Amino acid sequence: MIKLLSFIAFELLVVLLLAFINKKYFNYKLSNFKIAVISSFFFYISILAIVFVINYTLKNELDSFDLNGDNNFSIDERTLEQQQVMKAIISDTGRNLAPILGIIYSLIYFTIIIIPLNIFNKKKNKSTN
C-alpha cells in the first residue's frame, strides 16, 4: 500500500511540476489538455518501467538458482525458494498485461487529472478578470 501511495504521490508531483514549468517558463501557453496528456504519458511509461524492473529482478533471482547455467533446473537445483520464485514469475498475469492495462489506467489518470486542472484554470481566470 505504501508503494502505491508513493507512486501516486510521485505522479501528482509530476503534474504539479508541469504546471509550475507551464507558469514559469511558458507563461501558461500549455493548455490543460497538453499537461494532462504529458502527465498521462509519463504515468504509462512509469508503469512500464516498474514492470520492467520487477521482471528483471525476478529473472535475476531465478537465474541465481541455475547453478550450472544451462537455463534448466535439474533436480538438485530445485528448491522450495526456486519454486516460489518460478511461481511468482509464471502466475503473475498483471505484469504480462501491463502494456494494455497501462493504457486503460493512463486514460483514467488523464480523466482524473484534467478535471482539477480545468477547475483550477477557471478559478484562475475568474480571479484575473
22-79 confidence digits (pLDDT tens)? 888 888 788 889 999 999 999 999 999 999 998 898 888 887 777 766 666 667 677 7
Please state, as a whole number, how many other Cβ atoms lie within 10 Å of the Cβ of residue 83: 12
pLDDT tens per residue across span 80-125: 887 888 888 888 788 889 999 999 999 999 999 999 888 877 766 6
Instruction: Retrieve residue 108's grid coordinates.
Output: 483514467
Residue 67's closest CA among 80, 56, 81, 78? Answer: 78
pTM: 0.79
Cα 107 from Cα 116, distance rounded (Å): 15
